[in-house]
Structure 1
Amino acid sequence: MSTRTHRLTITEITDSDHCAVLRVSGELDQSCEEYFLGTLAAIVDAGRRHLVLDVTALVFCDSRGLNCLLAIRWLLKRLDGKLLLAGAGRRLSELLVQTGSTEMLPVRRTVGLALFDLPEAERPVWPPSPEDDEKEGEGGTSS
């Protein structure tokens, strides 16, 4: 599943009953705020209480985008879940450090490492099987 606005694309890479791994690419700012929050809220409403966001291809995130990430983290925390970021670039990492958000929004180098922060029984299979890649129409992200 992949959804997009003109500047942001969210692609589900894999999932399990309690967790979804999503690739977020493009720009996360005020123009995409409603789309981002609506898309992730729908995934949480479907029963996922842990989200791992592969942000390797996120090229821009401003304070409004950061607020979106914090809002999703707040929602998941209320469900005893977690929001984890994987592959944050220099600019996003600097934004998290400058705003004191690194403890609230943990960043891991890869999706595989981020998944280790979750209970084993709640993790999806990683890396996804080749059948998942064919269904998605894109190659998966390796850890």
Structure 2
Amino acid sequence: MQATVTDHRCDIAVLHLRGELDADTAATLRATLTDLLERPVPRIVVDLTDLKFCDSIGLSTFITSKQVITARGGWLSFAGANQFLQRLLETVGLSHYFAIFPEVDDAIAAGQL
């Protein structure tokens, strides 16, 4: 899995994920999120457009990060999930825990409200 970050207006970071997120690649996600958590008020959109797979280790990394982010007054949302990821998030009940948007621009706009 590859993880890159781009910054947008209003201190919103977009974390672009590409490939497969599993036990072998979760450390890359944790390291990237740890860097983003250093920001005073973390506001993160995770772009799932190019993420093809995510297992329970990946989901757990998102959940743990969201707890820290929320405690610091920030937020973490998802954008661009494919059908597999949408079904996965719904099946495990995370579609009620995370804001999920069709496009990155939608998530950024919602974060500025």
TM-score, structure 2 length as denominator?
A: 0.90
The match for 1:58 among 51, 55, 58 is 51
10-19 vs 94-103, greater mean Cα deviation: 10-19
Distance 1:65 1:21 in 2: 17
1:118 corresponds to which residue?
111
Secondary structure of the residue aligned to 2:45 is strand
State the 1:16 CA deviation.
4.6
Q: Which amino acid aligns with 1:108?
A: F
Q: Percent identity?
A: 27
Structure 1 gaps, min length 5: 1-7, 121-143
Secondary structure of the residue aligned to 2:96 is coil
Q: Does 1:14 align with 2:10?
A: no
2:81 corresponds to which residue?
88
State the 1:17 CA deviation.
6.0
Query: Cα RMSD between the aligned structures?
Result: 1.5
Runs of 4+ in structure 1 deviating by more than 4 angstroms, as ranges, are: none
Aligned residue-pair number: 113
Which has more radius of gyration?
1
TM-score, structure 1 length as denominator?
A: 0.73
Distance 1:9 1:93 in 2: 20
Q: Does 1:39 align with 2:24?
A: no
| Alpha-carbon spacing, 1:48–1:55, altered in 2? closer, same or farther (3 Å) | farther
State the 1:46 CA deviation.
3.5
39-48 vs 11-20, greater mean Cα deviation: 11-20
